[in-house]
Amino acid sequence: MTTILVTGATGTLGSQVADRLRSRGADVRGLSRRSPSYAVDLRDGKGLDAAVEGVDVIVHCASTVRGGDDRAAGFLIEAARRAGVPHLVYISIVGVDRVPLGYYKLKHRVERMVEDSGTGWTIQRTTQFHDLVLRLVTGAAKLPVLPVPAGVSLQPVDSGEVADRLADLALQGPAGRVPDMGGPEVRELAELAGAYLRATGRKRRIVPVRLAGQAYAGFRRGGQLSPRHAVGTTTFDQFLAGRLQRPV
């Protein structure tokens, strides 16, 4: 039986990856700070050796926008090397090398750490998940008007479809950097916000706002998009129709 450690197993993506791998017969260990079985803070690495012992594959989904992903990856890679784990799968984001956002720069650095880790590796970059877009517009819609960054488009993808892909990759051998995975449609954020308002029956004026800074300029140039890899099938509207049956 294949033993797989999924980091970030309490998160949006990691929980679905763990479910899929279990249903495909793998022995899955779920790690995160709040995990009931492998409660590890990757930023200090305590408890990691026990978590990686005897593991065939690590799927690294743990991450935080609050900083420290490179430090966390360093501890994980060291532990993987000590235990002789032959395959590390890393989930990254389309445009980490094109949009100069602090979080993206760190993820790009982690990609290079994985590539140089000396262990077998696979890196999958995807576009933003529908869940993230929903969270962003839900937050913005709490205001009397709904502000969105002007001129920015996204190509959101279903996190369940990404989980399917990661499970496939985990069960194959190391594949290096695999083709990007994008959602089925490129749409302006203002349009995505409109879809959210229609689906929820809320009424707000959508206000495009121009922002300063290099990261915003990178998003406006479309560095986060991958139209040639529009392989996801679930649209944002379809995702909303399913998701809004449950409380947001």
Ligand X SMILES: NC(=O)c1ccc[n+]([C@@H]2O[C@H](COP(=O)([O-])OP(=O)(O)OC[C@H]3O[C@@H](n4cnc5c(N)ncnc54)[C@H](OP(=O)(O)O)[C@@H]3O)[C@@H](O)[C@H]2O)c1
Residue 222 Cβ vs ligand X, minimum distance, rounded to whole Å: 16
The conformation of residue 124, written as its DSSP 8-state character, comes to E
Which is nearer to ligand X, 67 or 145 (by Cβ)? 67
Q: Is residue 29 near ligand X by the rule CB under 6 A?
A: no
Q: Tokens standing for 170?
A: 């985990």
Residue 39 Cβ vs ligand X, minimum distance, rounded to whole Å: 8
Cα(176)–Cα(189) distance, rounded to whole angstroms?
Answer: 32
Rounded to a whole number, what is the distance in angstroms from the first to the last CA of the chain? Answer: 37
The conformation of residue 155, written as its DSSP 8-state character, comes to -
Residue 99 Cβ vs ligand X, minimum distance, rounded to whole Å: 12
Inter-helix orientation angle 12-23/159-171, to 10°: 50
Q: Is residue 231 near ligand X by the rule CB under 6 A?
A: no
Q: Give the range of 6-14, 48-56, 186-194, 228-236 binding ligand X by CB under 6 A.
A: 6-14
Q: Is residue 155 near ligand X by the rule CB under 6 A?
A: no
Q: Tokens standing for 21?
A: 């791998």
The footprint of ligand X on this chain (CB under 6 A) covers a number of residues equal to 26
* Token pair 């602090």 in the structure block, residue: 102
Give the interface with ligand X as residue ranges (CB under 6 A). 8-14, 32-34, 40-43, 61-64, 72, 91, 93, 107, 126, 128-129, 132
